[in-house]
Amino acid sequence: MIDKIRRLLQEHGRLHTPVEHLSDSDDLYSAGLTPFAAIRTMLALEEAFDVEFPVSMLRRQSFASISAICDCVNQLVTPARRCAA
C-alpha cells in the first residue's frame, strides 16, 4: 500500500522533490505539495483504495507526510489492506 501511495503522490502531488527522495515522515508541503495538489491526491487515493475521506480528515495534517496519508488510509480500509507500520 505504501508503494501505491508513493506512486499516486508522484502522479498527482506535483512535488518539487521526487517522491523516491522523501522519507515517510518528510513534510510534503515543504516538498511542494499545494492544497490543490493535496485534493488531487486525495481523489486519486479514494479511487485507488475504494474509500471516501470523511470531512474530519480533510485537513492539512492528513496530507502532511506519507505516514500521515497512510494513517488516514489505514482508518478507511479493511485490516487486510492496511499499510505496514
- Position 78 scores a pLDDT of 75
Residue 81 has pLDDT above 90, yes or no: no
The CATH number linked to 46 is 1.10.1200.10
Of 77 and 31, more confident: 31
Contact (CB, 8 A) for 66 and 31: no
* Domain total in the chain: 1
- Pairwise CA distance, residues 54 & 31, whole Å: 25
Q: Summarize pLDDT for 55-80 with one digit per residue, the tens.
A: 999 999 999 999 999 999 999 987 66
Q: Which domain holds residue 37?
A: 2-81
